[in-house]
Structure 1
């Protein structure tokens, strides 16, 4: 029991400052100042790390944009070449444009966004966007009958879904 008879134990934190001694007070104040200094340094280090990471992220994004844009330059070059031959044989121009389209599709596939343009497959709401319903009696219900606009990518890496017409369910 303590002197007041409450049964509570008293410790050094309950002692008056004058009972601790000036040397101990100075020691504790120095330790508190050291802890505060270490805390401020840690906060400054964390802030510097955040700023450095943000700058590195901006630089990496810019570099990736430049890599993708540079990968598209041959496609633009080939389009310009095809346009310069527009007065020539029309079938050769069409063949050239088809080759350029294939080049662009391959470029997207190389970036992880393969082309999705299959018809005759079961409708999948994760891959397909229905733009029309087809009443074709020769098609299986709920299957893609025509691709209106191809999609690119799969799953979470999908740039856009494939726009399709789907066979109407039979009644």
Structure 2
């Protein structure tokens, strides 16, 4: 205890202790209220996020419905339409923070790539992605799914 506290009369010390206990109890009550408010608001925030994500996908579903309606039409137009819908879906994922990546010729990175196969690839440095079998989505530290890749092996 500081020297001044030892020199305070017992009544003042008791008052100071009571004040500190009161502040402590108020802080506990504030914390409890914060926890209760968070518990009330969390389900609303989760629902709002679900609505936002589902709404982002609705145009993709609408365009797939249109493609199915025209399935008996010109097959070239159908393929073109399906590619446009895929691009739209990729854009939705990008807007949600998961950009698509499917680059070849880049070094293998364990956080972004899942090795499916290893091949001898003359003229290519070992550990280079030579083929992407399934695109990956996300960024460093925020992966939705790694890319499934074929990697060049160490050349001896």
Seen in structure 2, the aligned counterparts of structure 1 residues 99 and 35 have a Cα distance that, compared at 3 Å, is same
Q: C-alpha root-mean-square deviation of aligned residues, in Å?
A: 2.5
- With a CA cutoff of 8 Å and minimum separation of 6, indicate the structure with the bigger relative contact order: 2
> Which structure has the larger Rg over C-alpha atoms?
1
Normalized per residue, the structure richer in strand is 2
Alignment of 1:1-171 (within 5 A): 40-171=25-156
Deviation at 1:39, TM superposition (A): 5.3
Number of equivalences? 148
Q: Secondary structure at the match of 1:158?
A: strand
TM-score normalised to structure 2 length: 0.81
TM-score, normalised to structure 1, is 0.75
Structure 2: stretches of 5+ with no match in the other structure: 1-5
